[in-house]
Amino acid sequence: MEKRKLIDFVLALLAVIFVIVTVLAALYYAPLEPLDVSTVLYHQDDYTGDDIRVKGVVQDLSGTEFALEDITSAVFIDVSYADSGDLDAGIVNGTTVYVLGRLEPDVGIAAREVEIADDPDEPAGWRSPYSAKIFYFHVPAAWTSFLAFGVVLVCSAAYLWKGGQKWDTWALSSAEVGLVFCSVAVISGALWAKAEWGYYWDWNDTKLFSTFVLWLIFIAYVAIRAGAVRHESIPRVAAIFGILGFAAVPISFLSSRIWTSLHPNVVATSQGHLSAEAGAVLMLGVVAFTLVYATLFSRRTAIERSVIEIEGIKEQLEDAE
Amino acid sequence: MTLDALRIAQKDISIELRTRERMTSTILLSLVIILSFRFALFGFDMELSENPHLVAPILWTTIFFAGIMGLESSFSYEKENKYLDGLLLLPTSRYSIYLGKMLANLLFLIVVDLVTLVFVVAFFAYEPGGAFVTLLGVILLGTFSFVAMGTLVSGMTIAAKTRQSLLQIALIPLIVFTVVIPAVAATSKIVSGSGDVMPELNILVGFGILSLLLAYLLFGHIMED
């Protein structure tokens, strides 16, 4: 018993230290441009990915010239190549592309044929570089929630296969803690989107949508458990639901890599890379959040064990009467 | 197995034919939703034929709400009258119980679908015309995959205390991508008379079959005691 308390204490201490170090590192050490944007996200001259935010002058084929930067929150949902038809060829100056998306407020939703011209005065980069530092908390939170839901999957499978209360306790605890991290990821992402894209949420974006579904699934998981009798069929049902629900994790992770999405891809992608300093701070954040997860998970399982113990005592007392 | 399933479905149907509880309340809900749309969207003057893009959302919102209400009461007769153990003690596989319940739910919901379609046609002056058969096909397939997963989840939530709200919160994330979006997209395409609905129909059929498979694997675990 004492040993467990000691482990809890050390975990909590480490978590606090790492979180503080991460905050300081994100604020003072990490570069203001956390990602090498010219290769990661947005179009410059030789961009070859699917996502594009054009900086510079484009020309409507009907003849009107307009600068996309003049349009607030221009979002390009789909880009296909009119000239070459070859996705690997990339966009070069003067390439004609079809841009399907919202060019608010002037153009409306329509497929437009536009020409991209290079604008040397317009540097590549983020609209709101400082708020991009939320990246060092958003990504670790999302990763930790994936880890937590992975633990739910493993523990649920073990519970169905072998039985045993501890698996159920671990699955429940991990799901609840994971839901907290998932909420942090969703909310921090929405705040960043407001600063960078100009709005909180985009329902057309598969990444955002699939993560929202993942969030709903584990809200449902926790709701199934809430107020449920602990030793009836609920743990088994929850285990099945946890296994089914985990299917949303790979969908959420891969969605922005499979389908066109505005969500930046940094890790495990061919789209770009982190600078060494940013990568170091990101790793620090992942370690810090994993420690926070471990601490909360350990405390949550302790609470659940006490609940089960108290229910056992209650039953004994009732039997004695 | 099939025969047992049919008998269980027959039992549910004959209970329904005698009490008419579920059908009455579900169809009334459908009527209320359709009327709300009618007056909230158009007031007294406009007609849906001028806004055909609204057919799909109105139709499916009504079907899903009514369907969830129907599913909520899927096991409630057994639960309220404490016949659940009797049902589980039947000398048949758990999957037959699922299939029987699924068939009964499907039949109920198809009737509700047809009534809802009549409401849409009547209150919005919408005329399906030549697209009627395709529209009916999409509605039937959407209802099938909805009910296939819905009956499974409804079985999951029997034991929980807050059963009714739980069914919705557990079911909706599972069907958003797989039933709601394809069904509405296919219906929109049919109504606007443009596009091929086969991709959406494939998703609906695929998810329906997947649900049946999952139920085959899992329903025994869910209903163990």
DSSP labels, A233-264: SHHHHHHHHHHHHHTHHHHHHHHHHHS--SS-
Q: Is the pLDDT of residue A61 over 80?
A: no
- Please answer yes or no on whether A223 and B166 come within 8 Å at the CB atom: yes
Residue with tokens 């930067």: A69
A220, A282: one domain: yes
pLDDT (average), residues A5-31: 89
Q: What order of strands is seen across the sheet that includes strand A96-103?
A: A65-67, A57-60, A108-116, A96-103, A75-81
State ipTM.
Answer: 0.72
A248, A311: one domain: yes
A295, A206: one domain: yes
Q: What is the pLDDT of residue A265?
A: 60
Q: What is the pLDDT of residue A262?
A: 61
Q: What is the pLDDT of residue A264?
A: 67
Find the residue in A nearest to B169 (Cα).
A220
Query: Considering the domain boundaries, does residue A10 fall inside one?
Result: yes
User: Alpha helices, DSSP H only, in chain B?
Assistant: 2-19, 21-42, 55-72, 76-80, 84-88, 94-124, 132-156, 163-175, 181-192, 198-222
Structure tokens belonging to residue B63:
């079907």
Q: What is the pLDDT of residue B151?
A: 93
A157, A234: one domain: yes
More confident residue, A201 or B202: B202
Structure tokens belonging to residue B173:
């994330």
User: Side chain identity at A309, as an amino acid letter?
Assistant: E
* H or E stretch covering A137: helix A135-162
Neighbouring C-alpha atoms within 13 Å toward the C-beta of A17? 6
Question: Most B CBs within 10 Å: which of A203, A209, A240, as the mutation test of the B interface?
Answer: A240
Find the residue in A nearest to B161 (Cα).
A228
> Pick from A82, A116, A150: which residue ends a domain?
A116
- pLDDT-derived band at A88 (thresholds 50, 70, 90) equals very low
Q: What is the pLDDT of residue B4?
A: 87
Q: Is the pLDDT of residue A8 over 80?
A: yes
A307, A213: one domain: yes
Stretch among A29-33, A50-54, A131-135 having the lowest mean pLDDT: A50-54
Structure tokens belonging to residue B49:
């034929």
Spans of chain B, pLDDT less than 70: 44-50, 159-164, 224-225
pLDDT (average), residues A80-99: 39
Q: What is the pLDDT of residue A227?
A: 62
Q: What is the pLDDT of residue A66?
A: 45
Nearest to A220 among B159, B169, B224 (CB): B169
Q: Is the pLDDT of residue A185 over 90?
A: yes
Q: What is the pLDDT of residue A260?
A: 55
A186, A224: one domain: yes
Query: Considering the domain boundaries, does residue A122 fall inside one?
Result: no
**B94-124 vs B2-19: helix crossing angle, rounded to 10:** 50
pLDDT (average), residues A181-187: 95
A67, A107: one domain: yes
Query: Within an 8 Å CB–CB cutoff, is residue A232 touching chain B?
Result: yes
Query: Within an 8 Å CB–CB cutoff, is residue A162 touching chain B?
Result: no
Phi, psi angle pair for A203, to nearest 5°: -75, -15
> Pick from A95, A116, A137: which residue ends a domain?
A116
Structure tokens belonging to residue B155:
């079985």
A268 dihedral zone (left: phi>0; alpha: psi -120 to 50; beta): left
Burial (CB count within 10 angstroms: exposed 0-12, middle 13-18, buried 19+), residue A281: buried
Q: Which chain A residues touch B223 with a CB distance below 8 Å? A: 233
Q: What is the pLDDT of residue A106?
A: 38
Question: Most A CBs within 10 Å: which of B53, B84, B177, B216, as the mutation test of the A interface?
Answer: B177
- pLDDT-derived band at A261 (thresholds 50, 70, 90) equals low
**pLDDT tens-digit readout, A271-280:** 445 677 778 8
The C-alpha atoms of residue A86 and residue A80 are separated, in whole angstroms, by 9
- pLDDT-derived band at A249 (thresholds 50, 70, 90) equals confident
**pLDDT tens-digit readout, A138-153:** 999 999 999 999 999 9
- Please answer yes or no on whether A240 and B218 come within 8 Å at the CB atom: yes
Neighbours of B169 (CB within 10 A): 19
A62, A92: one domain: yes
Q: What is the pLDDT of residue B48?
A: 63
Nearest CA of chain A to the CA of B5: how many Å? 23
* H or E stretch covering A96: strand A96-103
Query: Within an 8 Å CB–CB cutoff, is residue B173 touching chain A?
Result: yes
Residue A141: partners with Cβ closer than 8 Å, 6 or more residues away: A181, A182, A184, A185, A188, A289
Stretch among A40-49, A203-212, B147-156 having the lowest mean pLDDT: A40-49
Q: How far is the first Cα of chain A from the last one, in angstroms, to the nearest whole number?
A: 31
Q: Is the pLDDT of residue A111 over 50?
A: no
Phi, psi angle pair for A302, to nearest 5°: -60, -45
Query: Considering the domain boundaries, does residue A121 fall inside one?
Result: no
Structure tokens belonging to residue A163:
């039985």
Q: Is the pLDDT of residue A107 over 70?
A: no
Structure tokens belonging to residue A285:
């954040």
Closest CA to A237 of A249, A221, A219: A221
**pLDDT tens-digit readout, A115-124:** 444 444 444 4
> Pick from A116, A145, A179: which residue ends a domain?
A116
Residue with tokens 């996705």: A87
Stretch among A5-14, A57-66, B41-50 having the lowest mean pLDDT: A57-66
- pLDDT-derived band at A43 (thresholds 50, 70, 90) equals very low
- Please answer yes or no on whether B222 and A248 come within 8 Å at the CB atom: no
Task: Specify the 3-state DSSP secondary structure of A283.
Answer: helix
A62, A142: one domain: no
- pLDDT-derived band at A1 (thresholds 50, 70, 90) equals low
Closest CA to B5 of B69, B101, B117: B101
Nearest to B160 among A234, A245, A248 (CB): A234
- Please answer yes or no on whether A217 and B225 come within 8 Å at the CB atom: no
Query: Considering the domain boundaries, does residue A124 fall inside one?
Result: no
Q: Is the pLDDT of residue A266 over 80?
A: no
Q: Is the pLDDT of residue A49 over 50?
A: no
What rounded mean pLDDT belongs to chain A? Answer: 71
A175, A295: one domain: yes
Q: Is the pLDDT of residue A52 over 60?
A: no
Structure tokens belonging to residue A239:
């285990």
DSSP B158: S
The C-alpha atoms of residue A33 and residue A277 are separated, in whole angstroms, by 11
- Please answer yes or no on whether A236 and B218 come within 8 Å at the CB atom: no
CATH number at residue A240: 1.20.120
Nearest CA of chain A to the CA of B123: how many Å? 31
Domain carrying residue A237: 2-33+129-320
Q: Is the pLDDT of residue A34 over 80?
A: no
Neighbouring C-alpha atoms within 13 Å toward the C-beta of B9? 19
Q: Is the pLDDT of residue A73 over 50?
A: no
Query: Within an 8 Å CB–CB cutoff, is residue B174 touching chain A?
Result: yes
User: Per the structure, how many domains does chain A have?
Assistant: 2
- Please answer yes or no on whether B159 and A217 come within 8 Å at the CB atom: no
A172, A278: one domain: yes
A193, A74: one domain: no
The C-alpha atoms of residue A96 and residue A214 are separated, in whole angstroms, by 38
Nearest to A223 among B169, B224, B225 (CB): B169
- Please answer yes or no on whether A248 and B173 come within 8 Å at the CB atom: yes
The C-alpha atoms of residue A151 and residue B74 are separated, in whole angstroms, by 33
User: Side chain identity at A226, as an amino acid letter?
Assistant: A
